Chain A
């Protein structure tokens, strides 16, 4: 084992000055800007697993740098990995919001985005005995008095809050008037919905899935562009007349200041990984949807997300 590893290091050292002559990455450090166990950490460790088991990359290390919605890890990555062709960072839509609300000195334009890997869609749920039967009912209730509709979701300024704000805006209700109640954990907010303490819950669809199947919750709508293959009976926000589409995605990015060739090598490795059977199996096992998007298409989508997030956070009063 050790010999192979030393050999790999040596090969990496030799390959670097030659300007990545071989399109093979031998040694990779993936930063998960979160504590072990969370979504980004699991993404990084799943990547590690697949890249190594399919021998796409010789040796992969995962480094956890938790804190402040990933912005601490991002700052460390931007400052510490400049020009390093063997460094990747995992991130996601949550980071886009955290950079804005935390007034982070570093942002995603300072790294080299490689690809969007997975994504989840947001859903709105009510208890089974709620008088709200559809998105239309919710819209009517919001228009009548936004204060009377309490929303249970994740922390203020997070994806759930942003989605609630977008919905209010789309139906012509002042986003600062929504009665959003933040919970620190999925279990706690779910309990408050099941217990009928709040009017609606807003979170990723997977959080509500099991409860909905058991008939304890009713899902009013989902934020995907079209109906989801494994949830065909749930209408999208759009078809209910609420023009909101949002995806809570996870991505991988490379270090700032790498050459286009180095970026290409990394992108190819990621592409190979995403198309492998091991990755497909991993996603199925974790219940993550593959929303792979790379190259210019991803860059454009990222830019769009950043602009729209900036706008909505301003509207709900969390950014200047």
Chain B
């Protein structure tokens, strides 16, 4: 039981008062920047690296862990309360979370996000400590053809869960796919749909699009509705905290989200967004009250939130076991390791066990701290919604533009916020769902690149796509997701419990 001894040793380091203080500073900073769209944990850790160099390795790694988990947390708070997703992995949370907040159920939404993140973070961190080497072997065996199959699965499950009108859902998706084409094509180096504007060469930033569509589009449609939409936002209706039914509806999504998030996060090209999409689609499918989806279903917050936190821990699997940085934050953490003369790589566990276990232990501490700090704050947070609308929406716009400007002080970026904001308004006005646009922007480029990589490696032989058992399994799941409702209908003679209006 070396693992537990090592972990206990790590915990004893992390529990020293000074290190607890670092953890506290870390989670506070992380939450603060996580709330800002565009400014994420990667950027914060990068900016703090020179400062933390003065601290001892344990202290600064503990602070990084706090920032990392805090950032994920802040992202969901902003999504739920303000409808401005702070991180791309908390976009899905905004769908149901903000609807809940507007219906006076912001408290339970924040609580299920907090506890779900805690549960997922804890399980995933245990996974990181115990089964990382096994997980990484499987994750590494994923080739481009398998990733492409995973994208196909994501596309089918997500589109099966979007809205009532197929035409409108697909229209939104294709607008997103078109936006995803903008910029330099990675494989050929050719600029696409850039019209000679240098600022477009890097493509459309996911957070920029999400913030514009969600926050700015929303502001425009509310202001345009004027007196007509004099809907009163009730900060609290019923209990601030989760009631018995909320618990009952949350715990399974937490676990399912965790088991989607951790392995996909551990894959070198998995990311944290895809598990949130899959979790949302899965919960919508399994929910007993599918018509609540789109109007604030707690499962739609609990699942994706657990998924993105588990994915955040999953990203550390290849980093700690192989030294592979598979996300921006992981790359920066790697730079942090290097500061202390550590060579991250397959030998890290052997060469610096105290630091690795210290980091894992501080992830636990950060997790507990976030829960303890945030649950009492839920009541305070939801009061934000009691701010009179002129100031609330004024603040949301300041906030949305601030995050964008902080990450990239460019007028073109602000111009994109405005144009996509108008797009969001038009889509809302004519009852087009918003989320598929963002899904298209995220999944489109990923699936294209993976498909082209697979075909380049096979020198153009399309059969390679169906030769891997992983890929075939994923295609089978995709077919099930697409044809499942039909089979259900054929077998039982009644309509599958799927559907319900979205947005």
Contact = CB atoms under 8 A, between A and B. Distances in A.
B456 A191 contact: no
Interface stretch (A115-123, A136-144, A206-214, A272-280): A206-214
Interface string A18-37: 00000000000000000111
Contacts of A49: 50
Nearest to A210: B345
Interface stretch (A84-92, A167-175, A194-202): A194-202
B345 A104 contact: no
Interface string B35-79: 000000011011100100100000000000000000000000000
Given A36-B43, A190-B324, A195-B140, A102 B408 contact: no
A101 interface: yes
Contacts, number: 152
Interface string B175-204: 000000000111111010000001101100
A50 to B, nearest CB: 11
Contacts of B407: 35
Interface string B135-167: 000011111100000000000000000000000
B428 interface: no
A216 B328 CA distance: 24
B202 A67 contact: yes
Given A150-B456, A216-B346, A188 B269 contact: yes
Interface in A196-240: 197-198, 209-211, 213-214, 216
A318 B324 contact: no
B198 to A, nearest CB: 5
Interface in A83-140: 101-102, 104
B201 A67 contact: yes
A169 B47 CA distance: 41
A198 B268 CA distance: 15
Contacts of A213: 343, 345, 347
B335 interface: yes
Nearest to A313: B189
- Counting chain B CB atoms within 10 Å of each CB, the highest count among A101, A214, A285 belongs to A214
Contact of B453 (A41, A102, A181): A181
A186 interface: yes
Given A36-B43, A42-B335, A213-B343, A104 B198 contact: yes
Contacts of A304: none
A314 to B, nearest CB: 13
A65 interface: yes
B319 to A, nearest CB: 8
A185 interface: yes
A156 interface: yes
A45 B50 contact: yes
A37 B332 contact: yes
B326 interface: yes
A72 B199 contact: yes
Contact of A187 (B142, B330, B456, B457): B330
B339 interface: yes
Contacts of B453: 181, 183
Given A65-B410, A68-B199, A102 B323 contact: no
A81 interface: no
B440 interface: no
A181 B459 contact: no
Contacts of A287: 338
Interface residues on A, range: 35 or more
Contact of A36 (B46, B319, B322, B327): B46
A46 B318 CA distance: 28
B275 interface: no
Nearest to B201: A68
A309 interface: no
B129 to A, nearest CB: 21
B449 A210 contact: no
Contacts of B142: 195
A41 B345 CA distance: 24
Nearest to B328: A37
A61 interface: no
B198 A68 contact: yes
B49 to A, nearest CB: 8
B325 A197 contact: no
A188 B326 contact: yes
Given A150-B456, A285-B338, A191 B326 contact: yes
Contacts of A211: 322-323, 345-346
A64 interface: yes
B457 A185 contact: no
B470 to A, nearest CB: 12
Nearest to A66: B408
A147 B198 CA distance: 33
A150 B201 CA distance: 26
Given A197-B144, A286-B338, A181 B457 contact: yes
A37 B47 CA distance: 7
Nearest to A284: B341
A155 B201 CA distance: 13
- Counting chain A CB atoms within 10 Å of each CB, the highest count among B187, B341, B344 belongs to B187
B409 interface: yes
Contact of A181 (B139, B187, B319): B187
Nearest to B140: A195
Contact of A155 (B186, B339, B408, B459): B186
B326 A72 contact: no
Interface in B328-381: 328, 330-332, 335, 338-339, 341, 343-347
B184 A37 contact: no
Nearest to B269: A188
A214 B346 contact: yes
A14 B68 CA distance: 46
B202 A179 contact: no
A65 B268 contact: no
B46 A64 contact: no
Contacts of A262: none
A72 B343 CA distance: 34
A210 B346 contact: yes
Contacts of B141: 195
A184 B345 contact: no
Contacts of B318: 187, 191
B189 A75 contact: no
The 5 closest A-B pairs by CB, nearest first: A210-B345, A37-B46, A156-B189, A191-B268, A214-B346
Interface of B: 42-43, 45-47, 50, 53, 139-144, 184-189, 191, 198-199, 201-202, 268-269, 318-319, 322-328, 330-332, 335, 338-339, 341, 343-347, 407-410, 449, 453, 456-457, 459
28 contacts: A35-B408, A36-B43, A36-B46, A36-B47, A37-B42, A37-B331, A64-B408, A68-B201, A69-B201, A72-B410, A155-B184, A157-B189, A183-B453, A184-B186, A185-B325, A186-B325, A186-B331, A187-B268, A187-B319, A187-B330, A188-B326, A194-B140, A198-B457, A209-B345, A210-B345, A213-B347, A285-B338, A286-B335
Given A156-B186, A182-B186, 13 more contacts: A37-B335, A72-B199, A156-B187, A156-B189, A161-B189, A179-B459, A187-B325, A191-B139, A198-B457, A211-B345, A214-B346, A216-B346, A286-B335
